[in-house]
Chain A
Amino acid sequence: MDNVAAPVQAMIEEFAKLPGIGPKTAQRLTFFLLRAPKDISQRLADALIRLKEQVRSCSVCCNLTETDPCSICGNSQRDHSVVCVVEEPLDVLVIEKTGVFKGVYHILHGALSPVDGIGPKDLKIDELLFRVAKGDINELILATNPNYEGDYTAAYIASAITVSNIKMTKLARGLPLGGDLEYADEGTLARALEGRRIFDSAGH
């Protein structure tokens, strides 16, 4: 690629670092931008800058937000004593779509996975324990993905919570094992939210 201008090469390399984008697609995107009107690149660049500058973490639930607290944590109509614990911000969107959940959330930003080097300190687990320790929470719904990593994360959280007057339930029924919450259909998820069962972990 010696005969390609350095900025073009740099752009291709940056695109290729993104998930799901191979070298071919990276080239296609780069040449599309080169040929497209300048304001397309300008708007993309602005959006990229705003993404990192204006999106921050909600100090309550750790969701990504422009305002702190986020719109859900700041909503007094919602039940702040019921917290649904999920792996990713996308999971919040999926559950909100069902319209049946009136509580608030906690976003872990991943699941524990020893083989990937992800331990408790790499997730927002301490933040959750801090929320629990404040004593305003009656129920935790552990809605991690129904796979080993998600299950392990739920079991870990259940064993790390030492206060005894919290009801812990788990989303399980109807969700396909080995799946992601993100791919569960709305009806199934709504049923799962209504039919959640008490979590029985080894620590309890």
Chain B
Amino acid sequence: MYMQRISLLDFRNYSDISLDLGPGCFILAGDNAQGKSNFCEAAAMLSSMRSFRASSERELIRWGSAGGFAKIQASFQRAQDSCGVSIVISETKPAILPQSAAVPLDEQLSAGSARKKVWLNDAPKRALDCVGAVKVILFEPADLDIVSGAPSIRRHFLDVTLCLQSRKYCKNLSQYQRILTQRAALLKRIREGMDSAGSLTYWDEQLALHACAITAERAAFVARCLPYAEEFGWKMGIAALKPEYIPSFLAEDTVHGNQLFLEQLTRLRKREIAQGVNLLGSHRDDLMFLSETISLGVYGSRGQQRIAALALKLAELRVMEDIDGDRPILALDDVLSELDTTRRKALLNHVKNYTQVFLATAEPEALPDDFIQSAVRLRVSQGNIRQW
């Protein structure tokens, strides 16, 4: 699939731009803080319906915008049809409310928040129903953390990816969060003698059911990524690159898995109550990146970690393509600067035949001439985008 046209209105530092696009590679060249990442953020938002970096969606509205709202609008050509997606983020309340005991806490917390409205082919929809209607895979500098950061970052990556792919997973995951919250509270209550340990039975079963399903889905996805990641690893000079899902519990299959899970849970009973914490489940799983048998998260160089993270994202794109029969759009934000010339060429060769690629870089002169000639060259400067 590819984006045919995009318009940004009062989004971040873009006051009003429209771009006609199409299949192929697009180089977004520009100095830092000119709007390259903002463009990539908008493209990714059209796919996931949320910003990967805004702590509050209110940040997305351009400072000083007259209308008090930001709008992202784009049309896409998919394998079978075309599709239009629009997102409007508007201010709901002034950012500062007088702090007072008389103001209920929820009103205080929602002060300065934003409202998001979404349209799919001009029909208003819930954001959740538009997730994954079009698919944009974004790789940006902070994605290095998928390999080198905390396990929660890796789980989060898998959750976001699988939510893009399946509504069922998304629902399962939100129920799982609810179960974890209630069960942790119950463990603490049991520790304080306010509830009996027998009360755990219900939550144990719910936990087993959801944890086994979530872990199985994540592991299956990582297994599908493996051949693609490995292939890319060889091209980029990492031997036998292998992403491997590490469940925190034993589960052979979902039928017997539940029983096995409950047995492991029983063995942890005393510790769980003493600590008041859920010690078993998908929220304690991890994802490991191996080269041969060496963990890149622990022993890899920064360069190797970046390549491993990139390999996973590119594999994600291929797995989605296998499932949907349509290749997602790829956006690479500032990934070239940390690669040497050989690897830079290998990466560009790998992605140059993708349906649509956005390549944001501060050093376009470092790109090979033939690549520059074959791509659409765009210059990003102070919230404007022009051809060069």
Residues in chain A within 8 A of chain B (CB atoms): 12-13, 16, 22-23, 26, 113-115, 117, 119-120, 148-149, 151-152, 155-156, 159, 201-203
In the complex, are the beta carbons of B185 and A115 less than 8 A apart?
A: yes
Q: For B182, give its contact among A13, A149, A155 (CB under 8 Å).
A: A149
Say whether, besides A113-B182, A115-B182, A156-B199, A22 and B175 are in contact (CB < 8 Å): no
CB distance from B178 to the nearest CB of A (A): 6
- Which positions 195-225 of chain B face chain A at CB distance < 8 Å? 195, 198-199, 201-203, 205-206
**Assuming A114-B185, A114-B195, A119-B189, is B206 touching A148 (CB within 8 A)?**
yes
Binding site for A on B (CB under 8 A): 100, 102-104, 107, 175, 178-179, 181-186, 188-189, 194-195, 198-199, 201-203, 205-206
Would you give the shortest CB distance from B231 to chain A, in whole angstroms? 42
Interfacial chain B residues near A114, Cβ < 8 Å:
182-183, 185-186, 188-189, 195
Determine the residue in chain A with the shortest Cβ distance to B187.
A114
B358 vs chain A, min Cβ distance (A): 38
Q: Which residues of A contact B179 (CB under 8 A)?
A: 148
The complex places the Cα of A120 from the Cα of B186 at a distance, in Å, of: 12
A24 to chain B, nearest CB (A): 9
**What's the Cα separation between A26 and B104 when bound, in Å?**
11
Q: Is the CB of A23 within 8 A of B178?
A: no
Instruction: State whether A202 touches B195 (Cβ < 8 A).
Output: no
CA–CA, A7 to B103, complex, Å? 18
Q: Interface majority SS on A: helix, strand, loop or mixed?
A: helix
**B102 touches which of A12, A113, A159 (Cβ 8 Å):** A12
Q: Which residues of B contact A26 (CB under 8 A)?
A: 102
A160, closest chain B residue (CB) = B198
> Are A23 and B195 closer than 8 Å at their CB atoms?
no
Bound: A14/B189 CA distance, A: 32
Q: Which residues of A contact B107 (CB under 8 A)?
A: 22-23
For the complex, what is the distance from the CA of A113 to the CA of B189, rounded to whole Å? 11
CB distance from B64 to the nearest CB of A (A): 28
Judge whether A23 and B100 touch: CB under 8 Å: yes
B202 and A151 within 8 A (CB): yes
Assess the A152–B198 pair: CB atoms within 8 A.
Answer: no
Cβ–Cβ < 8 Å partners of B181 in chain A? 115
Q: From DSSP, what is the main secondary structure of chain B's interface residues?
A: helix
Cα distance, A13 to B103, chains bound together (Å) = 9
9 A–B contact pairs at CB < 8 A?
Answer: A22-B103, A22-B107, A26-B102, A113-B182, A114-B189, A115-B181, A148-B178, A149-B182, A152-B182
CA distance A10 to B206 in the complex (A): 47
Q: Which 4 pairs of residues, A with B, have the shortest CB-CB distance?
A: A114-B185, A114-B186, A115-B185, A155-B202
Question: In the docked arrangement, what's the CA distance between A113 and B181, Å?
Answer: 10
> Which of B102, B189, B206 interacts with A23 by CB under 8 Å?
B102
Check if A148 sits within 8 Å of B175, measured CB to CB: yes
How many Å from the CB of B247 to the closest CB on chain A? Answer: 24
With beta carbons under 8 angstroms apart, the residue of B175, B188, B194, B202 that contacts A152 is B202
Contact in complex: B102, A16 (CB < 8 Å):
yes
B262 to chain A, nearest CB (A): 10
CB of B104 within 8 A of CB of A16, answer: yes
Q: Which of A22, A149, A202 lies in contact with B104, CB distance below 8 A?
A: A22
13 new A-B contacts at CB < 8 Å, known A22-B107, A114-B186, A159-B198: A16-B102, A22-B103, A23-B107, A113-B182, A115-B181, A119-B194, A148-B178, A148-B206, A152-B202, A155-B201, A156-B202, A201-B202, A203-B201
Chain B residues with CB under 8 Å of A201's CB are 202
A20 to chain B, nearest CB (A): 9
Find out whether the CB atom of B201 lies under 8 angstroms from the CB atom of A159.
yes
A119 partner residues in chain B, CB cutoff 8 A: 189, 194-195
Q: How far is the CA of A127 from the CA of B186 in the complex (A)?
A: 23
Inter-chain CA distance A23–B182, complex, in Å, is: 32
